Amino acid sequence: MTTEQPRTSPRTSPTTTPAVRRAVFVDGVRTPFGRARKDGLYASTRADDLAVRTVRELLRRHPELPPERIDDVAIAATTQTGDQGLTLGRTVGVLAGLPRSVPGFAIDRMCAGAMTAVTTAAATIGVGAQDVLLAGGVEHMGHHPMGFDAEPNPRFVSERLVAPDALNMGVTAENLHDRFPALTRERADAYGVASQDKYAAALAAGQISPDLVPVALRDPERGWGLATADEPPRPGTTREAILALPTPFRPGGRVTAGTAAPLTDGAATCLLAAEESAAELGLPVRMRMVTFAYAGVEPEVMGLGPVPATHKALARAGLTIDDIGLFEINEAFAVQVLAFLDAFGLADDDDRVNPYGGAIAVGHPLASSGVRLMTQLARQFEERPEVRFGLTTMCIGLGQGGTVIWENPHHRDYEPVTTEGSTR
């Protein structure tokens, strides 16, 4: 019996510490996002099949990449059970038709699952352990609601480690309104309308569809179909309509369905590589990862997480907020984005922030959203070569935040790496 031998490409002697290599974002795709309900787009579709579809599309788009050159597959899910359990990276790779020699693993950092899959993959590239990886996430909230079947340790509350309301994300958004009076409902309502309007404009301009992969649907009652567009957006939303919505997390509160991301099903995956490996294989470079950071905050104000994470990432990169020309901020709640904007002195309507709209319009399938942000930023870099740096950031349940800073390869000052690993 013979087995395929793993590919090795030694770069240094055993006693030599390899230099840190640059990780690049080659490409990213996502499924159309569906509403997480019994009559939603993916009510009869398995979560793992959504992730499989994104992997197959990346392989189809990049025939120059031999599948056996993929070193690992990292797929995240927040609720790792049922059709989004069983070591997703490995099962998705097998189901997508990758060679059996390609390993895979699952990962969880709640909303930042896909983001963590990407930063973990980039770190392995950086130390020279791997060359080419697939990283992404999937969340079928229609099959597995957030927190489904979870058993939070009672010590959280009994020992006052966290406030009782810290386990309810909507209440943590209300807490932000309480803590910062300047974060008014009026601002949040206006932001919610703007998210819908910007998404509608981006869709009409052809800036959304190129990153979507159609998904075949088979419903026992409705028959066969094809998902080609996002289901959650509500074009034409007005401030008056949002004002009439109930506040489900608190009587007389300020958070409504119009200023929160809807419960969503969907998957997103990207292809990452060492820059010299991309050059060797003829893969495009759409962004270079500069650095990343994660930070913790009080769980009861979870939405503040992106602020310290961004401070850490900027410090590591030797940059300031003024160096960032594009921001992709996950819109779990409007108030969370507004808190970030206030912390860094940015206007509510700053055109560098979420130019295509965000999760309030398109939805937030938890563990997959990080790659959606990255894919949108990569497209914006292509449209705006004068912007050198951008960032993707998001808040994370139980009081965390994550930020990744990226460099635009289309900028005049970008110095690509050659196949020999040196810049030119």
* Catalytic machinery residues: 111, 364, 395
Residues 295, 62: Cα–Cα separation, whole Å: 35
Of the candidates 265, 281, 198, 187, which has an alpha carbon nearest to the alpha carbon of residue 235?
Answer: 198
